[in-house]
Amino acid sequence: MRNRQRGSHLGLMLLASQLFLMGLDNIPPVTLAVLGLNVYLYLFPAAPLMQACVSVQQAYWFKDWRRLLLSPLHHADDWHLYFNMVSFLWKGTKLERRLGGPWFLYLLAVFSLLTGVVYLLLEAGLTELTQDQSYSMACAVGFSGVLFALKVLSNHYHPGGVTYVMGFPVSNRYVSWVELVLIHVTSPGTSLIGHLAGILVGLLYTAGPLKAVMKKCAGFVILNGYNSQPSGYYNSSGGTSQGGAPPPYGFHLSEEARAEDIRLRRLRRFDS
């Protein structure tokens, strides 16, 4: 998240070169679609930048809640877009292949919205603690808060790994915190609170209740008509399967949920 003026399109050209070097066929569909949406909204924004960024003043005081949806998908300039999308390209490809397309898309939607909510709560808390209204007026935009949440998730799956930051080895367990401080020091225009919000959302998923809540919500949607096959489940690639163990992530029905769904269908037929 940051707030800068738009510049040249060199960043877009470099991003295009990265895509072709990696090969479009090697990029999973959800990752490619979300990246394409960010590029499209940079070229054809849904709202001017100052009407897309999120702040306590604009979202809470003035009740402009649509900014929670717009802010992660808009970028201040092409370099902001380039660095965020190159980072997303790497993280998204790894996580989508691990979690499956449907769950990864669900994860991105929740992370995008929740990062904005946590950002507002942090800024409102700082305003209250310091009695400094500038915190409530700080307006953030960009996908980097979501990227920090994805980084926490990626590091969670590689707990013993090491990442080199400016040539120094840092345990994956702490690398998000190191990069949080480093990015703020080297790039003063970035939003420290926006990035911190992303880290906290990632921790809510990996070490908190968020994953369990998301699974319950997904199961509720499937049970109430999302899945038209009562004995099947949605696997990680988005298809249905009639047998075998369900994937560890993605939309699927438990045995209890399937039995309940069958019972309800039989009751409906009996009533009719």
Q: CB neighbours of 167 closer than 8 A, spacing ≥ 6?
A: none
Please say if 158 is a catalytic residue: no
What is the residue type of 132? Answer: D
Which residue in 74, 80, 195, 252 is the catalytic one?
195
Which residue in 71, 112, 144, 154 is the catalytic one?
144
H helix and E strand count, the chain: 12, 4
What does the DSSP 8-state code read for residue 131?
-
Are 258 and 231 in contact by the 8 Å Cβ rule? The answer is yes
Torsion of CA 78, 82, 83, 88, to 10 degrees: 140
Nearest to 198 by CA among 186, 187, 206, 189: 206
Please say if 144 is a catalytic residue: yes
What does the DSSP 8-state code read for residue 28?
-
CB atoms within 10 A of CB 21: 8
Q: Give the relative orientation of helices 101-130 and 210-221 as an angle to the nearest 10 degrees.
A: 130
Torsion sign across C-alpha atoms 162, 164, 170, 173 = negative
For 39-57, give one letter per residue: b (16+ CB within 10 A) or e. bebbeebeeebeebbbbbb
Report d(CA 109, CA 191) in Å as an integer.
21
CA 186 to chain centre: 24
Q: Report, as residue numbers or ranges, the catalytic residues.
A: 144, 195
